[in-house]
Each structure stands twice: as C-alpha cells, then as structure tokens.
Structure 1
Amino acid sequence: MKALILAAGRGQRMMPLTQHMPKPMLKVAEKPLIEHHINNLKAAGITDIVINLAWQGDKIKDYFNDGSQFGVNILYSQEVEGGLETAGGIIQALPLLGESFIVVNGDVYTDYDVSALMQLHLQAGEAHIVLIQNPPHNPDGDFALSHLSPESQKYTFSGISRYQADFFKGLTQGRRPLGPILREKLSKHVISTELYIGQWDDIGTPERLNDLNKRLAAH
C-alpha cells in the first residue's frame, strides 16, 4: 500500500516561519515535521510514499530526494502555484497512488499507528477517516461518527484517512476542497470513522509549534 503526505499548503498562519520554508519542514523535536510522518509510515511497513508540493516544494525535494537515505521510495506530485487544496491534490496524485492508499496531512504531529488502516477491508468507492477530540481551535468539530446521527456530537478530522481510488471517481482535476466531498459521502454511508484519543497536534500557528516542542522536550 502507498501513502500520500499532503505538503502543498501555503502556511499563512505560520508566517514568518513559512516565508521561505514549507510548513511540513518546520522542526519538531529537532527533525522536520514531515520526517516524523515518513518514519511512522516506514515503521508500519509503508515504503512507497507520494508527497504533493506547491509552496517552497523544492525545499522538501532537496531534503528527501528519492527517499532512499530514509529507507523509503518517494515520488512527488507537483502542483500549480497556490496549490490545489486537499481534494484537488489527492485527485492529481491518483495516478501515483494505486487502488487503495493512506493520506496524512503534513502539518500535524501524531503517534497514530497507520498500520491499523492497512487492516481495513474497504469496498469500491469507500473511505475511512480518523477523528479526534476537538482541540481548542476547533471546538465545534467537523463530523459526527458515521454510525451515529449527523446531528450527534461532532469531532475534528485528524487529517489521517484511507481511500479507495474510485472514491474520487467523476471528480475532475483542479482546485477542490475535501470537506464538502466528505460531508456528501458521509450522508451516502460510504465513509467509516473512528475516534482516536492518542497524541495529535495541529501545527497551525507558531505558538502551537512552540508549545508542542516544549512538551516534547519536557518528556
């Protein structure tokens, strides 16, 4: 199975740290954030990795190259300036990903074990998304658990998911957000969900990054 790490975002809220650096290359525990994802994927047995690129993407490519020095094989999906948003980035990368694949947001830090996603038996057109308890910056959440009413308690999408490629069938390439697609597909009962309670941090602002590094250093 292959994995896609989403790394094309502009990172406006991280300025000035992202003025000359893509957000996934910011240091967490003295390593680029995206390196933690690559190590976690490798530990789960996933060595074929695709990374999408836009803002300052050459910095990622120059650091990781083909991935061989990290024990993985990396291909790159170069996007237009400004990026394609999440769904647009996934759709463009589909030819590199195969029939079933895992997607991880490059701007989160987590100890989630993606090998659990590899054990799922998804049917054609299905997907599985990982939700987490709502952090302070997203108190209202995004989605309810799929086996409950849409009006139930909503949780935050972690940015970790698995898709069958034909989940995106009929969607043309171009700039496209993922949220509306997930909401539509949840209503059609082709997405399963889980609630993860472990380590998860969104590196959305310099303050959150600094707080995470302080907590990790303390432990």
Structure 2
Amino acid sequence: MKAIVLAAGRGERLRPLTDTTPKPLLRAGGKRLIEWQLEGLVAGGFTDLVVNHAHLGPRIVEALGDGSRYGARIQYSAESPALETAGGIARGLPLLGSEPFLAVSADIYTRFDYGSLRPVIEDIARRPQERAAHFVLVPNPDYHPAGDMGLTAAGHVTRAAKPWLTYGNISVFHPLHFEGVDPNAAMRLFPWMYEACEAGRVTGELYTGPWDNVGTAEQLASLDRRLSE
C-alpha cells in the first residue's frame, strides 16, 4: 500500500530556522521530523512512499535518498511553487497509482498506528463512489480550540456535528476523488473536501494518543524536550 508524505510547506512561522533548513528536516528528539513519520509508516506496512517537496526540496532528496535506510522506497514529486495539500496530492497521483492511498504531513509527530488504516483502504477500494476518504481527527489543541469538523456516532465526518475536532493531517483518499483537480495549480484541501463530507462520503475516527503539529519554534522546542526526556 502506498502513502504520500506532504513535505512542501515553507514553514513561515518557523523562520529563521526554515530559511536554511526545510521544515521536515528540523530535528526533535534526535531525529528529523519526517524521519519519525517514515518510521511510523514503515512499521504500519507502508513502504512505497511518495514525498512531495518545494522549498529547499533538493535538501530533502539528499537527506532521505531512495528510502532504503528506512526500509522504504521513496519517489519524489517536485513542486515550484508549492501547490498546497490538494494540489500537491493531485501532482503526485501518477506516482501513487489507481488504488486508495494514505496521506500524512511531514511536520506532525504522532504514535498513531498507520497499520490500523489498512482495512479502511481496502473498503474504500471496494466502494469509492460511496466512501471517498477517511480522516483521523484529534482533540483540539490549545492553539486551535474551535476545531475543524465533527464526527457523527456512525463515524461520518460532518460540520453539522458538535463538538468539532481538529483534522489530524492523516487521511486516506481514493484517487478518483481528485479527478478535475489541476495538478499544476495551488489548491487547499479545505474547504474543497467539505462538499464530500456533507454528502456523507467521508468517514473518520478520533485518535487521542500522542500528536503534535509543529508550527512554531516554541512547539518544536517543546516536542524536542518531551522526546528527549
């Protein structure tokens, strides 16, 4: 099964660190942020990976190579400029193939079990017209108290359900859902995906384990302290 690791972000709030180092290569707990993700994906059975990149992209390619040191096979999808999440996925589709795939951000830290999504991928493959995607949601962090979307008792993602939770930057998609998305134009995942959510075609789950979205130098330093203890 395949996964795309989204690593094209500029990391504006982490400047000046990201002026010379791509955000996914910043370190916490003795490892690069993206290395924590690669290890988790491989442990979950995802060894065929696509990494997209834009800002200082060659540094990412140089650092990760072909992925063999991580037990993976990495292909790269270059962007210039960065195409946001939906646009970046659309650009990487030729490398991802025709089956459902996992999409994760390179700049989160989590102990989520990616292997638990394999049955989800198999189900989306069987009925893509009914189930376009699956989101992993997390409790709202202090810096995002309002959340993004809700989760019904039946496990469907909708903005009509309260309380809202936060999108965890972990998702499964069927490539058919990206038909019509321009692979050469910047496009964000939201609000574009909300239409599929309100149509009942997006399922979800709540994950309450370790999860950090590293957006500032303070958050990076905090994560580094916790992982180093």
The verdict on a shared fold, with TM-score over 0.5 as the criterion, is yes
Partner of 1:150: 160
Give runs of aligned pairs for residues 58-207 of structure 1, distance below 5 A: 58-81=58-81, 83-98=82-97, 99-120=99-120, 121-122=123-124, 123-125=127-129, 126-146=132-152, 147=156, 150-173=160-183, 174-207=185-218
Partner of 1:214: 225
Give the letter for the 1:97 counterpart. Answer: L
Task: After superposition, give the CA deviation of every residue in 1:95-151 in whole Å (9 maximum; x if it has no partner).
Answer: 111221000011100000111111111121410000000001111000111546614
Give the TM-score of the pair, scaled to structure 1. 0.96
Give the TM-score of the pair, scaled to structure 2. 0.92
Distance 1:41 1:151 in 2: 30
Q: Is the 8 A contact 2:24 2:33 kept in 1?
A: yes
Q: Percent identity?
A: 42
Distance 1:61 1:149 in 2: 38
Q: Does 2:16 align with 1:16?
A: yes
Task: After superposition, give the CA deviation of every residue in 1:149-168 in whole Å (9 maximum; x if it has no partner).
Answer: 61421100000000111111
Partner of 1:56: 56
| Structural RMSD (CA) | 1.2
Give the letter for the 1:180 counterpart. Answer: P
Deviating 4+ runs (over 6 angstroms)? none
User: CA separation of 1:149/1:31 partners in 2, compared to 1, >3 Å: closer, same or farther?
Assistant: closer
Residue ranges of structure 1 left out of the alignment (5+ in a row): none
SS of the residue 2:181 aligns to: coil
Deviation at 1:180, TM superposition (A): 1.1
Give the letter for the 2:181 counterpart. Answer: L
The number of residues matched between the two structures is 217
SS of the residue 1:213 aligns to: helix
SS of the residue 1:154 aligns to: coil
User: CA separation of 1:109/1:149 partners in 2, compared to 1, >3 Å: closer, same or farther?
Assistant: closer
Moved more, 122-131 or 101-110: 122-131
